Amino acid sequence: MCGIVACIGTRPAAPLLVEGLRRLEYRGYDSAGVGLLRDGKIETRKRAGRIDALAALLAERPISGTVGISHTRWATHGPPTDMNSHPHLDATGKIAVVHNGVIENHAAIRRDLEARGETFVSDTDTEALARLLGQLYAEAGAHGEAAFLEALRRALRRVSGAYGLAILCADCPDAVFGARKGSPLIVGIGREEHFLASDVNAIVAHTREVAYLADGDLAVVRAHDFEALRMDDREATVAVSRVEHDAAAAEKGDFPHFMLKEIFEQPHTLRNALRGRLNPEDATSVLGGLNMTAAELRGVERIQMAACGTSWHAGLLGEMLIEEFARIPCEVDYASEFRYRNPPFGRNTLFLAITQSGETADTLAALREAKRKGARVLGICNVVGSSIAREAGGGLYLHAGPEIGVASTKAFTSQVTALALLALYLGRLHHLSALEGARLIRDLENLPGQIEEVLAQSERIRAIAQRFRGAASVLFLGRRFNYPVALEGALKLKEISYIHAEGYPAAEMKHGPIALVDERTPSVFLCPRDGMYEKTLNNLEEVRARRGPVIAVATEGDREIAHKAEAVIPIPAAPDHFAPLLANVALQLFAYHAAVALGRDVDKPRNLAKSVTVE
Ligand code: M6R
């Protein structure tokens, strides 16, 4: 949530920062601002609204300089106004701060500073930090980098909460300062220029050499080099690594929206998730990144997962796959609930954190709680070098490339695939036969081609979505492996179209939600020809008996369903456990086309942000 970009070098900073912010806009789009340091002075420009509004302001009132910080905001403390936009200044205007995260004791700091005569100009928690830093720097009685760093350390010792920070000090014209605790911060290493960013996508057009800061690290970034320090003045150890993808991977290309691009990328990203991970000879998978021996994995008696949103839905489907194929008891919790429960951990419990971004605050906290309880912890992440990827003892990367659309699509498919690979591996360590293992491998290999067939239905799905776009509420119903996809289909529709939607187990519906059914409330039934087909059809009839319109996602060639539904979305025949992945792609398209038909801002739905780094 929120995005930070800072740069120092020889090129004009303002256009570089605005371009970086545009690449980060999916992180927050309530307001944006830049601050540039030149001739011993800091100048800022800040605007509520999208980056375009900031760019227009800069065109009207340009600022020049080659050293700057910038921020795109997802509002936490204070509404999205010009004043609440970052950067925030100290009382002298010599220090400017952009901040991701939350300063939890900001109210106490504010009271204290106000008692000493400071007048705050914003409602934000960040201003408390900027002003505190200014006070401590003034108290130091000295100027320059060493004094500033000391003041920064003292300030950070006084604040509680989470932060990723980029800071300018007018007395230090050759440096941008960074600090990280609980919110990601990366140093980008360019030629005669260096960057600080909350996300590699902001800077990958300029450099693919990056250093990931760890919690408790400070950074002094200069045009020609950078220094990473610990809070206690020790030198920090940061390794430089190379970003896997280039800038084009984070661009829309010919697609009108990132979400549509990412939906259409799925055959490719799924192949990437499988590449090198199938061993047909032994009918198993190859999962080197787990950093666990076969003996250790064979000893796992229970799997506990935690995740949020779409990743939680992937976990729910993964739970079913692991129980089905590996016969290991498995459970997925909402990370936000898990972290405050007091779950007993058996000695042989394996904990999995499932996350696209690897930065979701609740999932990170759940992982830390599991570690504290002594569990072996793995991450299933997309973003390389993310906090969860680094804090887990091992895991699986999704290799899905950057996911920019706020609505998660390709990550879900790859997460389920990764969990299916884990189910296969664990299954083969237990009772799963070579024949069953080989069948699962074939099923996985068939998936990319089958997804292509679903994608070919996009126009048909668009017509159906247009027909039903006026619905005030839509139910999504499925059973067994299709239940997680009913939840995910409902989430997708509501988050980007703002149509109310509810996902439910199809048979559970009659215990309450059936009261919602009437001729204006469509129900999307997930009813491929699987082991639950007849049962699901009974539930479908219950809806029809109450005049509820039905949209069926069904196996192609199913004639029976054609008579029972107002609209049918056909998906290729697939085994019970993987048909939901195909249905899910159809529902992603359904949500996308409904949102476009309603004129919604598909990639930046209201109130949301990619990667929820606050609690
Ligand atoms: O990055 P993560 O996978 O941890 O994110 C979890 C959720 O915030 C995310 O899936 C969210 O629900 C998406 N907006 C869903 O489309």
312 CA → ligand 1 middle, Å: 8
In order of their start, the domains of the chain are 3-250 (3.60.20.10), 252-456 (3.40.50.10490), 457-603 (3.40.50.10490)
Ligand 1, atom 11, lies closest to the CA of: 309
User: Ligand 1 atom closest to Cα of 408?
Assistant: 16
**Cα 169 to averaged position of ligand 1 atoms, centre (Å):** 36
User: Is ligand 1 within 6 A of the CB of residue 613?
Assistant: no
Strands 209-212, 278-279: pairing is unpaired
CB neighbour class for 59 (10 Å; exposed up to 12, middle 13-18, buried from 19): exposed
Residue 408 C-alpha to ligand 1 middle, in angstroms?
6
| CB contact at 8 A, 31 and 127 | no
Q: How far apart are CA 503 and CA 212, in angstroms?
A: 38
Q: Token match 């910080």: residue?
A: 69
Q: Give the pLDDT of residue 235.
A: 78
User: In which residue ranges of the chain is pLDDT below 50?
Assistant: none
Longest distance between any two alpha carbons in the chain, whole Å: 83
- pLDDT score for 248: 82
**How far from 62 is each of 55, 348, 562, CA to CA, in Å?**
9, 60, 61
Query: Mutate which of 183, 259, 357, 592 to test ligand 1's pocket (most atoms within 8 Å of Cβ)?
Result: 357
pLDDT digit string (tens) for 312-346?
Answer: 999 999 999 999 999 999 999 999 999 898 888 88
Using CA positions, which residue lies closest to atom 14 of ligand 1? 407
C-beta of 611 in contact with ligand 1 (< 6 A): yes
- Its sign, for the CA torsion 486, 489, 494, 495, is positive
Residue 77: the pLDDT is: 85
Question: How far does the centroid of ligand 1 lie from the alpha carbon of residue 380, in Å?
Answer: 13
- Say what the pLDDT of residue 347 is: 83
pLDDT at residue 232 in the model: 78
Q: How far apart, in whole angstroms, are the C-alpha atoms of residue 467 and residue 319?
A: 35
> Which atom of ligand 1 is nearest the CA belonging to 360?
4
Sheet of 523-526: strands edge to edge? 500-505, 473-478, 523-526, 550-555, 567-571
407 lines ligand 1 (CB under 6 A): yes
d(CA 344, CA 521): 42
pLDDT for position 342: 86
**pLDDT in the model for residue 507:** 95
| pLDDT on residue 563 | 92
Interval 108-117: pLDDT, tens: 999 999 999 9
Q: H or E segment at 219?
A: strand 217-221
- Decide whether any atom of ligand 1 lies within 6 Å of the 97 Cβ: no
**Using a 6 Å cutoff on CB, does residue 609 contact ligand 1?**
no
Question: Around Cβ 114, how many Cβ atoms within 10 Å?
Answer: 13
pLDDT of residue 394: 95
Helix (H) or strand (E) holding 383: none
- Report percent pLDDT > 90 for the chain: 89
If you measure from the C-alpha of residue 490 to the centroid of ligand 1, how many angstroms do you get, rounded to a whole number?
14
Euclidean distance between CA atoms 615 and 308, whole angstroms: 11
Q: Which residues are the active-site residues?
A: 2, 610
Nearest CA to ligand 1 atom 4: 355
Contact criterion met (CB below 8 Å) for 599 and 16: no
> In terms of Cα–Cα distance, which of 415, 213, 440, 238 is closest to 324?
440
Helix (H, G, I), strand (E, B) or coil at 81: coil
Q: Is residue 69 within 8 Å of 18, Cβ to Cβ?
A: no
